[in-house]
Amino acid sequence: MPVKRRIPEVGTAEFEAEASFYRKSTKDERIKRAQELGYKNKDSYETVMARSGAKLPDIVIPPVIPQETTVNLPPVTLKRYKPINMGRIGNPETQVLHLTDHHWGQVTKSFNPDIAKTRYEYLFQSVLRITNLHRKLYPINDLVIFVTGDMVHGENVYQGAKVGTISCGAREQVITLAFPNLSEFILSLKQEFKTVRVKCVPGNHGRYSREAPATSNWDMMLYDLLKTKLEPYGAEVEIADNFFLMTEVQGHRFFLAHFDQFRATMGVPWFAMMRGIQSWFVTYGGFDYIVGGHFHRDDFFRVNSRCKLVMGASIVTGDSFTEEVIKTSSIPCQWTFGVHREKGLTWPYSLIVDEKFFPKSELSGKTG
pLDDT at 366: 46
Contact 291, 256 (CB under 8 A): yes
Could you report the average pLDDT of every consecutive run of 10 residues in the chain (368 residues)? 66 84 85 85 83 74 67 68 58 96 94 96 96 94 97 76 78 95 96 96 81 75 96 96 96 97 85 95 97 94 95 92 73 96 96 84 45
d(CA 329, CA 332): 10
Beta bridge partner(s), residue 327: none
What does the domain layout of the chain look like in residue ranges?
Answer: 13-51, 94-355
pLDDT at 360: 62
DSSP assignment of 98-157: EE----BTB-BTTB-HHHHHHHHHHHHHHHHHHHHHHHTTS---EEEEEE-S--B--S-G
pLDDT at 4: 54
CATH topology assigned to domain 94-355: Purple Acid Phosphatase; chain A, domain 2 (3.60.21)
- Give the amino acid at 232: P
d(CA 147, CA 235): 14
pLDDT at 368: 37
pLDDT at 54: 81
Q: What is the pTM of this model?
A: 0.75
Q: Diameter of the chain by CA atoms?
A: 132
Residue 239 falls in which region: left (phi positive, over 0), alpha (psi -120 to 50) or beta? beta
d(CA 57, CA 22): 10
